[in-house]
Structure 1
Amino acid sequence: MSVGTSRAPGVPDFVRTRADRDGPGDLGDLGLDPDELPDGLVVADETGHVICFNAAAVRITAVRAADALGAPLERALPLEDLEGRRWWQLTDPYGGLATRVGQPERNLLLPGGREVLVSARYVRTARTGPVRRVVVSIRDTEARRRTERSHAELIATVAHELRSPLTSVKGFTATLLAKWERFTDDQKKLMLETVDADANRVTRLIAELLDISRIDSGRLELRRQPVDIGAAVGRHIQAYVAAGQGADRFLLRIQQPLPDLWADPDKVDQVLSNLIENAVRHGEGTVTIDVAPSSSPRERGGAETAVTVSDEGPGIPEESMGRVFTRFWRGSKRGGTGLGLYIVKGIVEAHGGSITVGRAPGGGAQFRFTLPVGTPAYLL
């Protein structure tokens, strides 16, 4: 088979091989070079010889295109299943059932044991005619493995976080039911308060899981209405003071006038609650919250409201700042699920805003998020 500068015999018009660099080449009528595809593409002709081996296939398999083009498919792409069987001999695309149209995606192994996702399509001249070409798609499994690891970590974290409060709830309720008369009213009240607190903890975790599901699937619903964000911050501060924090622990600075902000008040409260709680729990010194108008660098003339939460604690190490908004990230002080900041980022971005983390002037952590302002179009 020729692999020179002219198109090899039997090469379909929609395929541009690496031997066809002189011509424009296209994929269908789209003018698309196979090397522009994100997945590996390998095409074999009716004789089983490779006529297309794109750049992604080279990257994934570590096989040179010059070695693959013109070679038999099973030699250019030596795949084995997870039981060590030769894949092309097992499936026999050219001599198998005449009604077979391809192979569904499955995990196969390259030489050296590297795992890839492979699917194949058998193109026939007629419905049950001979195979004219075999089109193979190859994908790296690393992204899928990362997703599977993330899901496994999520399940493990949820199981761990649920076990403790549910064990407590079960223990206290079983004790109260079995020995109700033996406890004083104060003891009963303490046990029920503990059960209530643990039930709230479980409810909060379930709410976080639902938020993650909606963020990951792009289904986070926002119910926009006018929000006085300065007043919202003030309510959070008052709640901490009422719970025993000193009023001098907080400094709220609002730069007036603020533009009208249309946002989901519950979601904004969730963002503020998480950021202020992090500053109180993990930071030190004064927690400073600045609320000010801002302008969007992404949209010329776009107005935004910016909220900055700073503390005077040790801050976040420089090498960790890139991971702050990922799942399960926790600071130096353990505790919590590590999902809060991931959810915060999802909520802010669902509003069309952005959030960043840096170092505060006092040396602590500084979180700054912006929300676009203005009346929704449907109300204009």
Structure 2
Amino acid sequence: MDSRDSQVPDDAAFGPHYDDLPDGVVITDAEGLVVVFNRAAERITELPAAGALGRQLDEALPLLDLEGRLWWACTDPYGGLAIRTGQPETRLLLPDGRDVLVTARYVREHGGGPIARVVIGLRDTSARARVERRHADLIATVAHELRSPLTSVKGFTATLLAKWERFTDDQRKLMLETVDADADRVTRLIAELLDIARIDSGRLQLGCYPIDLADLVTEQVAGMIAAGQSAERFDVQSIDLPAVWADPDKLRQVVANLLENAVRHGEGRVTISFKELTEPEDDERKGEGPPMIAMTVDDEGPGIPEAMLGRVFTRFWRGNRRGGTGLGLYIVKGIVEAHGGSITVGRAPGGGARFRFTMPAA
């Protein structure tokens, strides 16, 4: 038996296995001796459990506040008022100077008597720091992306209001078309931000019903041709497929993003193909779950460097390209996975990029 489990309090014997918890847990008994020091606490503090068990709390887990004071001496868990229940999450310093987030709960006998044990929770600050950096990056990117179209909208509208009579009808129309395009750009950015918020919080709502994926792709291609793309640019290899079980608006968003990426950043012909994955031995199904429909988009451009393939679906990834928020493929991945599918990126037979996603068959 592991030494960490040999001295667990009796009333915790049927509780969770402390080493299975993601956060660090340290528990002391009524005498202030450490009786639990789980693996996460070892990882976070880089202190061995063997050296902590059986020792006084302030010796086993020396912590300093941000002003350099001994935290256990300041908080005095086993002294003070009997109505105290613990300490809220506090940022403290380990002996080597690293940050750690610490909470403490005081468990008292009969709800108000002497302390029976102190339960300390430890959390690494690196995860929180990463989240804060991501939020800061998102705010900075959004501010940058909003500034350009709003500056344009403000400039053109102010010019038209001040000097309307000086411009011809064609000039006014051109300015208003620019304002309209910039307004659409702002609207798209706001929609992307809302999608990210829903994906990150697990609240992306889907209204699914049977959709003909090949028909949806054909419609998207027809729209791109009507907008000025050459019909020779696309090769839709349509086959007889069962319908997919998907939210039509979200699925259209996925298809549109992948096709636009292939046209904008790729070269040559864009090939769209489909495959029904029904065989249990198919590696892409791994023999589990409902039959899936796979859609592949290949282009003939330079492709994506091997070293960057792992970053394609992360936030703000643009590769070596300029323009855009770098949020589109992150949203695509979130939408596909919310449907129970998956998406991959690799090299197409023609040397360009290959994006492949799956959706459950209806």
Q: Could you state the TM-score of these two structures normalised by the residue count of structure 2?
A: 0.93
Residues 237 and 87 of structure 1, relative CA distance in 2, 3 Å threshold: same
Matched AA of 2:172? K
1:344 correspondence with 2:344:
no
Deviations 1:202-251 (A, max 9, x none): 00000001111111111111122332221221222222222222211111
**Which residue of 1 is the match for residue 237 of structure 2?**
253
Cα deviation for residue 298 of structure 1 reads 4.3
Matched-pair contact (CA < 8 Å) for 2:339–2:360: yes
Cα deviation for residue 187 of structure 1 reads 0.8
Aligned with 2:132 (options 148, 162, 168): 148
**Which residue of 1 is the match for residue 299 of structure 2?**
311
1:359 correspondence with 2:347:
yes
Q: Distance in 2 between matches of 1:276 and 1:45?
A: 63
**Which residue of 2 is the match for residue 24 of structure 1?**
none
Cα deviation for residue 128 of structure 1 reads 3.1
Matched-pair contact (CA < 8 Å) for 1:305–1:372: yes
- Structure 1 segment 121-270 matched on structure 2, within 5 A: 121-255=105-239, 257-270=240-253
Matched-pair contact (CA < 8 Å) for 1:79–1:111: yes
- RMSD over aligned Cα, in angstroms? 1.9
Q: Distance in 2 between matches of 1:258 and 1:95?
A: 72
**Which residue of 2 is the match for residue 18 of structure 1?**
none
Q: Distance in 1 between matches of 2:289 and 2:219?
A: 31
Matched-pair contact (CA < 8 Å) for 1:254–1:292: no
Matched AA of 1:13? D
Deviations 1:179-200 (A, max 9, x none): 1111111110011000000000
Q: Distance in 1 between matches of 2:275 and 2:30?
A: 68
Aligned with 1:12 (options 9, 16, 19): 9
Q: Distance in 2 between matches of 1:85 and 1:325?
A: 44
**Which residue of 2 is the match for residue 65 of structure 1?**
49
Cα deviation for residue 349 of structure 1 reads 1.2
**Which residue of 1 is the match for residue 281 of structure 2?**
none
| 1:126 aligned counterpart, secondary structure | helix
Matched AA of 1:12? P
Residues 227 and 134 of structure 1, relative CA distance in 2, 3 Å threshold: same
Matched AA of 1:134? V
Q: Distance in 2 between matches of 1:5 and 1:192?
A: 71
Matched-pair contact (CA < 8 Å) for 1:288–1:310: yes
Matched AA of 1:251? D
Matched-pair contact (CA < 8 Å) for 2:277–2:285: no
Cα deviation for residue 84 of structure 1 reads 2.1
**Which residue of 2 is the match for residue 109 of structure 1?**
93
Cα deviation for residue 157 of structure 1 reads 0.7
1:373 correspondence with 2:361:
yes
Q: Distance in 2 between matches of 1:68 and 1:301?
A: 47
Matched-pair contact (CA < 8 Å) for 2:212–2:242: no
Matched AA of 2:177? E
| 2:111 aligned counterpart, secondary structure | coil
**Which residue of 2 is the match for residue 29 of structure 1?**
14
Matched-pair contact (CA < 8 Å) for 2:4–2:36: no
Q: Distance in 2 between matches of 1:110 and 1:283?
A: 51
Residues 7 and 361 of structure 1, relative CA distance in 2, 3 Å threshold: closer
Residues 325 and 121 of structure 1, relative CA distance in 2, 3 Å threshold: same
Deviations 1:26-82 (A, max 9, x none): x4424x432222221111222222222122111111112222122221121111122
1:43 correspondence with 2:14:
no
Matched-pair contact (CA < 8 Å) for 2:258–2:355: yes
1:332 correspondence with 2:320:
yes
Matched-pair contact (CA < 8 Å) for 2:19–2:40: yes
Matched-pair contact (CA < 8 Å) for 1:275–1:309: yes
**Which residue of 1 is the match for residue 75 of structure 2?**
91
Matched-pair contact (CA < 8 Å) for 2:24–2:122: yes
Deviations 1:315-353 (A, max 9, x none): 111111111111111122121111100110111111111
| 2:350 aligned counterpart, secondary structure | coil
Q: Distance in 2 between matches of 1:362 and 1:335?
A: 25
Q: Distance in 1 between matches of 2:116 and 2:336?
A: 52
Q: Distance in 2 between matches of 1:5 and 1:186?
A: 80
Matched AA of 1:283? G
Cα deviation for residue 154 of structure 1 reads 0.7
